[in-house]
């Protein structure tokens, strides 16, 4: 992975830069010892590593502002970091950059059940936002699978989704406002708990901008009353086409499950060997979850059953109790771990129109044979967000490169059928150089203009999102 | 000017010699912009419709009525309930889907499914230099690059002229019904809406006007009946149930702000916290229609009370004068926010030709 050459001037001034930061921040908020910086040399995309110049762990918006102001004056790039769970290298540092971590900013600032929002510091983890409102019967809807660890700051940066966004939407649909600190230290409030912009929807473009427009330090999030209950069913099919048609029919019928998950045969076999969830050995498997009271769940499942049976499934499995419901989810939730038992894997995140599903799965199978690498598919079928898991051996020379080439071909296919490179993980460094597959130069130019306004020196989260050549002139200043 | 293709639209913008007044059907235009009229109503037609994927791609000048008709044929709809403001604003004309997006026009169901911008999956637009730009796409989950779709939604044409929009659409529910709660004063009547919205019963509308609070549920027939029962048990006051077409009529009336149509005075649109809504109205003593559980207030007041309105909403929302003797006025923004907005406008429309003076 190519990264820009570090600014030698910044590297030479390291002592002075660190001294200025130490003078402005509490002693324990500035880290520059090489052994302590190892933690920050990568995020969850571990194939690439580079220690930063220093790492900062401020506790308040004012401290973030002071730190950014110094970095702005010194011309030091800043890489914002939530919990470092990005699979796309969204928090990958450069040698001349300072990591600005919000991990210590995890307070709940306000909960308001009547107006249905919570205001938190952005370092708070996704799951602990729900945890803070659970006792009153509320939850925060976006549920990325890393929700135990990932921070709201990173969720906002990547516009994170989750398994339940078919019904509840992704981060942008549940974000009401933010406190944002710009690279020059200016503190800006965008949106607010009333959730309606007064003018341009700047909040809408900040969400998903991968930390390149500012550092979000606080956020107003919508909270929702928890449903009375939820229950999954499992349906097995002997063809991907039929499973895809079943998904389409359920959606057309006007039933809105909270999740429709899809696994293909390689993935089913791997998870069975690993988790022994008792899944049928079939070509494609759907897990469909609905919510409501007992009677409402029964009403929806009866309709889903009627639709599914019309497609002649090899199995339709209902959950009689909580234990059986857990077993239905067990294999799906173990899928990534199961694939990881077999070998190293790369997880892709392209989205396709649901109607292209059979075609795309067939093509991925053909490519798998051509590249000589196995792939399992597990994904959110209701919204077309695929997660092909390509298996490779990191210790075998050339295997990672082959895997990346295979991944790139899959993502190009996603774009070709009308989809996109990434549905919920973000571009980061991982898909940066594929952006030109999806966007024409003028499309990227329009996006980069937004960054020109928020961060004119292009110091925030360098070398992400846009191909290096595309952003070169701007990064040069 | 009335281009009929995106290429003609781009040419018209590139060749413009002065300000352009960008509009679809002109049924919900606000502000004081002046310029040569650039209408998008010539750009019509459905580009793609996949009911099984809940996806619709449509040219920006397509009439809303046409979009509704196409979707209804497959028993689907735009989830965010497009308001028809012609009656309220005293306008003629045919509302276009591009105008709806440019205004982020969202109706009562916003409390359940989000605003217009939340249903927008992708856009194509012509920027101020006449360049065609695309952003987003036609799939429901897409975080590839910056989200200019949200930025363009609600931008009222000041950043670009929309040529095409993709939507996530929704299946029509099997049943709908509304609980009508009477006999409560405003404070208690609005509190009832918050109780409903804070319940697990998936309320799709919570509004109040003319002394009545309205709470809507939609879905499968058995589920609607169940939730009506649960909600009734939790609400005070005199509760009756209205079902089917009669229920739909109540929400059309609310959506289009019928109670305030054709009456004298200024019309304000206030976005605020639901818990502040009763107090704001009591303080200003106007005629109100509350939607979104109180988060949206349509308020009819005597002319010339702008300063009082601004003081009443300060720190807890914002107010737009949508109809007044001197035209309409957008709310002011904080200095740092206004600076960013001005910077974005200058980048997307460097000549400043789109709707100058429209927003702020």
A135 pLDDT higher than 60: yes
Residue at which a domain ends, from A171, A198, A225:
A225
Which residues fall within 8 angstroms of residue A272, CB to CB, at 6 or more apart?
A278, A279, A281, A331
What pLDDT, on a 0 to 100 scale, did the predictor assign at position A252? 85
What pLDDT, on a 0 to 100 scale, did the predictor assign at position B360? 54
Average model confidence (pLDDT) across chain A:
95
Interface test with B, best of A201, A290, A350 (most B CBs within 10 A): A201
From the list A186, A424, A443, the residue facing B133 with the nearest CB is A443
Considering the domain architecture, whether residues A89 and A156 belong to the same structural domain is answered as no
A110 Cα distance to chain centroid = 26
Residue in chain A nearest B320 by alpha carbon: A198
From the list A170, A355, A420, the residue facing B52 with the nearest CB is A355
B315 pLDDT higher than 80: yes
Residue A454 in domain? no
Residue A90 in domain? yes
Instruction: Note whether B220 contacts A: Cβ–Cβ < 8 A.
Output: yes
Query: B306-313 and B277-284 are packed helices; what angle lies between their axes, rounded to 10 degrees?
Result: 150
Considering the domain architecture, whether residues A178 and A30 belong to the same structural domain is answered as no
B6-45 confidence digits (pLDDT tens): 999 999 999 999 999 999 999 998 887 889 999 999 999 9
B332 pLDDT higher than 80: yes
Residue at which a domain ends, from A86, A102, A118:
A102
Residue in chain B nearest A424 by alpha carbon: B143
Work out the average pLDDT over A186-198.
95
Q: CB distance B348–A303 less than 8 Å?
A: no
What pLDDT, on a 0 to 100 scale, did the predictor assign at position A163? 82
Alpha-carbon distance of B9 to A65, in angstroms, equals 43
Considering the domain architecture, whether residues A265 and A410 belong to the same structural domain is answered as yes
Residue in chain B nearest A416 by alpha carbon: B137
Q: CB distance A254–B135 less than 8 Å?
A: no
B50 neighbourhood in chain A, CB within 8 Å: 353-355
Where are any strands of DSSP class E within B210-286? 212-219, 238-243, 266-272
From the list A115, A419, A445, the residue facing B139 with the nearest CB is A419
Selected residue with higher pLDDT from B134 and A383: B134
B343 neighbourhood in chain A, CB within 8 Å: 453
Residue A81 in domain? yes
Task: Go through the domains of chain B in sequence order and give each one's CATH number.
Answer: 6-171 (3.30.465.10), 175-255 (3.30.70.2190), 261-323 (3.30.70)
Considering the domain architecture, whether residues A278 and A132 belong to the same structural domain is answered as no
| 3-class SS of residue B150 | helix
Number of other residues whose CB lies within 10 A of the CB of residue A8: 9
Residue A443 in domain? no
What pLDDT, on a 0 to 100 scale, did the predictor assign at position B30? 85
Alpha-carbon distance of B303 to B323, in angstroms, equals 10
Q: CB distance B295–A190 less than 8 Å?
A: no
| 3-class SS of residue B324 | coil
Average model confidence (pLDDT) across chain B:
95
Which residues fall within 8 angstroms of residue A268, CB to CB, at 6 or more apart?
A279, A280, A281, A282, A285, A331
A360-419 confidence digits (pLDDT tens): 999 999 999 999 999 999 888 888 999 999 999 989 999 999 999 999 999 999 999 999
Residue A207 in domain? yes
Residue at which a domain ends, from A416, A433, A461:
A416
From the list B174, B198, B341, the residue facing A199 with the nearest CB is B341
Q: Contact at 8 Å (CB) between A449 and B347?
A: yes
B269-290 confidence digits (pLDDT tens): 999 999 999 999 999 999 999 9
The continuous run of DSSP H or E covering A472 comes out as helix A468-475
Considering the domain architecture, whether residues A237 and A376 belong to the same structural domain is answered as yes
Residue A453 in domain? no
A103 Cα distance to chain centroid = 18
Considering the domain architecture, whether residues A268 and A408 belong to the same structural domain is answered as yes
Residue A337 in domain? yes
pLDDT band at A166 (very low <50, low <70, confident <90, very high): confident
A185 neighbourhood in chain B, CB within 8 Å: none
Residue in chain B nearest A179 by alpha carbon: B337
Q: CB distance A351–B145 less than 8 Å?
A: no
Considering the domain architecture, whether residues A192 and A125 belong to the same structural domain is answered as yes
B135 neighbourhood in chain A, CB within 8 Å: 443, 446-447
Considering the domain architecture, whether residues A30 and A54 belong to the same structural domain is answered as yes
Give the CATH number for residue A134.
Answer: 3.30.465.10
Instruction: Note whether B47 contacts A: Cβ–Cβ < 8 A.
Output: no
CA distance B339 to chain A (A): 9
Alpha carbons within 13 angstroms on the beta-carbon side of residue B190 total: 25
Which CA distances in Å does A223 have to A115, A136, A142?
A: 9, 11, 10
Q: Contact at 8 Å (CB) between A316 and A305?
A: yes
Instruction: Note whether B135 contacts A: Cβ–Cβ < 8 A.
Output: yes
Give the CATH number for residue A73.
Answer: 3.30.43.10
What pLDDT, on a 0 to 100 scale, did the predictor assign at position B357? 80
Give the CATH number for residue A272.
Answer: 3.40.462.10
Considering the domain architecture, whether residues A114 and A250 belong to the same structural domain is answered as no
Q: CB distance A443–B134 less than 8 Å?
A: yes
A205 neighbourhood in chain B, CB within 8 Å: 146-148, 150-151
Domains: count for chain A: 3
A188 Cα distance to chain centroid = 25
Selected residue with higher pLDDT from A154 and A256: A154
A58-72 confidence digits (pLDDT tens): 999 999 999 999 999
Among the ranges given (A145-149, A424-428, B116-120, B161-165), the one the predictor scored with the smallest mean pLDDT: A145-149
Q: Residue A61's domain spans which residues?
A: 8-102
Considering the domain architecture, whether residues A364 and A392 belong to the same structural domain is answered as yes
Considering the domain architecture, whether residues A209 and A132 belong to the same structural domain is answered as yes
Residue A338 in domain? yes
Beta strands at B317-323 and B266-272: parallel, antiparallel or unpaired: antiparallel
A263-304 confidence digits (pLDDT tens): 999 999 999 988 898 999 999 999 999 999 999 999 999 999
B54-76 confidence digits (pLDDT tens): 999 999 999 999 999 999 999 99
Q: Contact at 8 Å (CB) between B317 and A194?
A: yes
Interface of B with A in 251-290 (CB under 8 A): 271-275
Helix then strand count (H, E) for chain A reads 17, 18
**A-B interface: how many C-beta pairs under 8 angstroms?**
255
Considering the domain architecture, whether residues A186 and A254 belong to the same structural domain is answered as no
Work out the average pLDDT over B47-51.
96
Q: CB distance A385–B295 less than 8 Å?
A: no
């Amino acid at each position: 992975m190519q990264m820009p050459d570090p600014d030698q001037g910044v590297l030479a001034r390291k002592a002075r830069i660190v001294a200025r930061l130490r003078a402005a921040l509490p002693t324990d908020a500035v880290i520059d010892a090489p052994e302590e910086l190892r933690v920050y040399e990568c995020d969850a995309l571990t194939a690439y590593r580079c220690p930063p110049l220093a790492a900062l762990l401020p506790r308040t918006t004012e401290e973030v502002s002071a730190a950014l102001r110094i970095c702005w004056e010194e011309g030091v790039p800043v890489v914002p970091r939530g919990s470092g769970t990005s699979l796309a290298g969204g928090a990958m540092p450069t040698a001349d950059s300072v990591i600005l971590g919000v991990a210590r900013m995890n307070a709940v600032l306000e909960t308001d059940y009547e107006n249905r929002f919570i205001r938190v510091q952005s370092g708070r983890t996704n799951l602990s936002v729900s945890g803070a409102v659970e006792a009153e019967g509320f939850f925060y809807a976006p549920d990325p699978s890393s929700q135990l660890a990932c921070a709201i700051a990173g969720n906002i940066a990547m516009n994170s989704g989750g398994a339940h966004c078919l019904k509840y939407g992704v981060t942008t649909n549940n974000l009401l406002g933010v406190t944002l600190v710009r690279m020059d230290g200016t503190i800006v409030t965008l949106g607010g708990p009333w959730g309606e912009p007064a003018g341009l929807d700047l909040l809408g473009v900040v969400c998903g901008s991968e930390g390149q427009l500012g550092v979000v330090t606080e956020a107003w999030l919508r909270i929702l009353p928890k449903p009375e209950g939820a229950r999954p069913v499992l349906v097995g099919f002997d063809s991907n086409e039929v499973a895809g048609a079943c998904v389409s029919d359920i959606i057309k019928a006007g039933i809105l499950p909270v999740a429709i998950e899809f696994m293909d045969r390689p993935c089913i076999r791997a998870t069975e060997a690993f988790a022994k969830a008792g899944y049928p050995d079939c070509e494609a498997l759907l897990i469909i979850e609905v919510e409501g009271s007992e009677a409402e769940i029964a009403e929806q499942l009866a309709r889903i059953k009627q639709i599914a049976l019309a497609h002649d499934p090899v199995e339709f499995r209902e959950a009689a109790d909580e234990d059986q419901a857990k077993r239905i989810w067990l294999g799906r939730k173990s899928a990534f771990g199961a694939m990881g038992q077999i070998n190293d894997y790369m997880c892709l995140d392209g989205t396709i129109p649901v109607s292209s599903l059979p075609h795309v799965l067939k093509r991925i199978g053909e490519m798998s044979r051509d590249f000589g690498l196995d792939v399992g598919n597990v994904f959110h079928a209701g919204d077309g967000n695929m997660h092909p898991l390509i298996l490779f051996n990191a210790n075998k020379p050339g295997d990672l490169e082959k895997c990346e080439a295979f991944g790139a071909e899959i993502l190009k296919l996603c774009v070709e059928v009308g989809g996109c490179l990434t549905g919920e993980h973000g571009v980061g460094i991982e898909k940066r150089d594929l952006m030109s597959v999806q966007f024409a130069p003028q499309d990227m130019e329009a996006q980069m203009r937004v960054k020109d306004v928020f961060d004119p020196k292009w110091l925030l989260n360098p070398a992400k999102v846009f191909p290096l050549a595309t952003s070169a002139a701007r990064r040069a200043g | 000017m009335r281009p009929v293709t995106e290429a003609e639209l781009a040419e018209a913008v590139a060749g413009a010699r002065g300000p352009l007044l960008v509009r679809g059907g002109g049924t919900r235009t606000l502000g004081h912009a002046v310029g040569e009229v650039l209408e998008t109503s010539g750009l019509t037609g459905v580009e793609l419709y996949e009911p099984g994927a809940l996806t619709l791609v449509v040219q920006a000048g397509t009439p809303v009525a046409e979009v509704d008709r196409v979707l209804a044929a497959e028993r689907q709809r735009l989830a965010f309930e497009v308001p028809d403001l012609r009656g309220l604003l005293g306008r003629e004309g045919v509302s276009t889907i591009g105008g709806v997006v440019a205004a982020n026009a969202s109706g009562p169901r916003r409390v359940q499914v989000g605003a217009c911008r939340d249903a927008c999956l992708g856009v194509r637009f012509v920027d101020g230099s006449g360049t065609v730009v695309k952003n987003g796409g036609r799939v429901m989950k897409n975080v590839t690059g910056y989200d200019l779709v949200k930025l363009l939604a609600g931008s009222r044409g000041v950043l670009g002229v929309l040529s095409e929009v993709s939507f996530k659409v929704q299946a029509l529910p099997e049943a709908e019904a509304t609980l009508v709660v009477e006999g409560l004063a405003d404070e208690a009547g609005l509190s009832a809406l918050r109780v409903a919205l804070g319940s697990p019963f998936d309320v799709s509308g919570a509004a109040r006007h003319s002394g009545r609070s309205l709470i809507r549920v939609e879905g499968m027939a058995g589920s609607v009946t169940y939730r009506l029962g649960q909600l009734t048990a939790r609400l005070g006051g005199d509760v009756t149930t209205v079902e089917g077409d009669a229920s739909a009529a109540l929400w059309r009336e609310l959506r289009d702000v019928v109670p305030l149509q054709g009456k004298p005075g200024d019309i304000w649109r206030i976005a605020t916290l639901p818990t502040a809504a009763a107090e704001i109205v009591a303080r200003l003593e106007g005629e109100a229609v509350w939607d979104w559980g109180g988060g949206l207030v349509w308020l009819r007041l005597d002319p010339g009370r702008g300063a009082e309105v601004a003081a009443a909403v300060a720190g807890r929302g914002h107010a737009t004068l949508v109809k007044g003797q001197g035209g309409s006025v957008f709310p002011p923004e904080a200095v740092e926010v206004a600076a960013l907005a001005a910077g974005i406008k200058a980048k997307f429309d460097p000549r400043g030709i789109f709707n100058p003076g429209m927003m702020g």
